[in-house]
């Protein structure tokens, strides 16, 4: 009964054997593994200390090499420091002696050439003449010249502006001239309208526009100068033809 139970139980009783076999295989392939020295699970079976010993020897050898290199670097630095100290002490010792023995140099100004008395007299005369010159006179002359040029340019600009023709303000007017009835002669009505002649008035195109019940109105274009002809004056002149014209209306008014 107990034997059957152990057969079905999933327990690995001989796991240590497989662990030892795996460790030995990797040691043969890659060398001894660090930290692999441990006692096996079997009675009286133990791993040898050869792996740990070889690892320690390797580490000690590498540390000794590194120690030797560091000692060499330290010695080189000590030698360099000692050389710098010796050089600095030598400079400090030689500096005061050099200052004491070195001759003091005296700054001598360059020699000035002695001018003859005649030259000095001429120079004094020229200085007196320079003092007599009015330094501000030239500025006043320049100001006068600039003012004269400015006035001349203003005068030329005014003359040019006076010669330029002034801009004439004009307007375009569309008039609706209505007759009394359908029996009004529209050709005679247009002739009466165009007979109005004023300074600054120019007649343009015209056409007849139906109004209703057979009546047509005259729609005529004209251009007037605003300063010379007014809309009231134009309407007054056209409405004088009472036999043909009933009324005058402004259909459109545009500035040109």
Give per-residue pLDDT as tens, 162-219.
776 667 789 999 999 999 998 989 999 999 999 999 999 999 999 999 988 889 999 9
- State the sign of the Cα–Cα–Cα–Cα dihedral 90, 92, 97, 103: positive
Distances (CA, A) of 55 to 72, 85, 89, 222: 26, 45, 51, 122
Residue 171: which of 126, 231, 212, 98 has the closest Cα?
Answer: 231
In angstroms, the CA 148 to CA 8 distance is: 131
In angstroms, the CA 10 to CA 51 distance is: 35
What confidence score (pLDDT) does residue 43 get? 42
pTM of the model: 0.38
Under 8 Å between Cβ of 182 and 211: no
Which position has the higher pLDDT, 117 or 55?
A: 55
pLDDT category of residue 130 using cuts at 50, 70 and 90: low
For 224-250, write each residue's pLDDT tens digit: 998 889 899 999 999 999 998 999 999
pLDDT category of residue 101 using cuts at 50, 70 and 90: low
**What tokens appear for 83 in the block?**
């050389």
Residue 252: CB partners within 8 Å, gap ≥ 6?
A: 172, 173, 174
């Amino acid at each position: 009964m107990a034997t059957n139970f152990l057969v079905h139980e999933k327990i690995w009783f001989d796991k240590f054997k497989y662990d030892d076999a795996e460790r030995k295989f990797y040691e043969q392939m890659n060398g001894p593994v660090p930290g692999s020295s441990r006692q096996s699970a079997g009675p009286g079976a133990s791993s040898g200390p050869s792996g740990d010993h070889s690892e320690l020897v390797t580490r000690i050898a590498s540390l000794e090499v590194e120690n030797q290199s560091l000692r060499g670097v330290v010695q080189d630095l000590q030698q360099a420091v000692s050389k710098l100290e010796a050089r600095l002490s030598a400079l400090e010792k030689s500096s005061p002696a050099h200052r004491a023995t070195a001759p003091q140099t005296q700054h001598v100004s360059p020699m000035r050439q002695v001018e003859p008395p005649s030259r000095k007299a001429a120079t004094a005369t020229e200085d007196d003449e320079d003092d007599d010159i009015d330094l501000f006179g030239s500025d006043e002359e320049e100001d006068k010249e600039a003012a004269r040029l400015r006035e001349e340019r203003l005068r030329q600009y005014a003359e040019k502006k006076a010669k330029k023709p002034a801009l004439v303000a004009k307007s375009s007017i569309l008039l609706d001239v209505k007759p009394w009835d359908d029996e009004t002669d529209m050709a005679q009505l247009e002739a009466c309208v165009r007979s109005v002649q004023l300074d600054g008035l120019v007649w343009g195109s015209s056409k007849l526009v139906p109004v209703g019940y057979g009546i047509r109105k005259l729609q005529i274009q004209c251009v007037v100068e605003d300063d010379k002809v007014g809309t009231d004056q134009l309407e007054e002149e056209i409405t004088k033809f009472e036999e043909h014209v009933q009324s005058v209306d402004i259909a459109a008014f545009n500035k040109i």
